[in-house]
Amino acid sequence: MEAAASGELVVCVHAAAVEGAANQEMIEVLARALRVPKSAVHIVQGERARRKRVAVAGMAAVEVVARLRRVDLQSAKGAGR
């Protein structure tokens, strides 16, 4: 995951965009990063497009951004080992 200059989050997945596999992997990656159940992450727009809009049940956008920033900071600290 990385933040784009536009403020969007870029999530790269390895699964092919066949039968929803890439969408499922993206949901798993976000759920793991946010420490929420996979069932809490929903694609609300762009299910068949490269760009998607997601919602996380029970979590405001501000909290999602804050958690992802913490994950990014922790990853950066771990990369320096």
Longest dimension (CA), the chain: 38
| Counted domains in the chain | 1
User: What are the tens digits of pLDDT across the range 35-73?
Assistant: 999 999 999 999 999 889 999 999 998 898 888 888 775
Angle between helix axes 61-79 and 21-34 (nearest 10 degrees) is 80
User: What are the tens digits of pLDDT across the range 18-39?
Assistant: 999 999 999 999 999 999 999 9
Domain span at residue 27? 2-79
The Cα–Cα gap between 59 and 31 comes to: 12
> Are 14 and 28 a contacting pair, CB within 8 Å?
no
- E strand or H helix that includes residue 53: strand 53-56
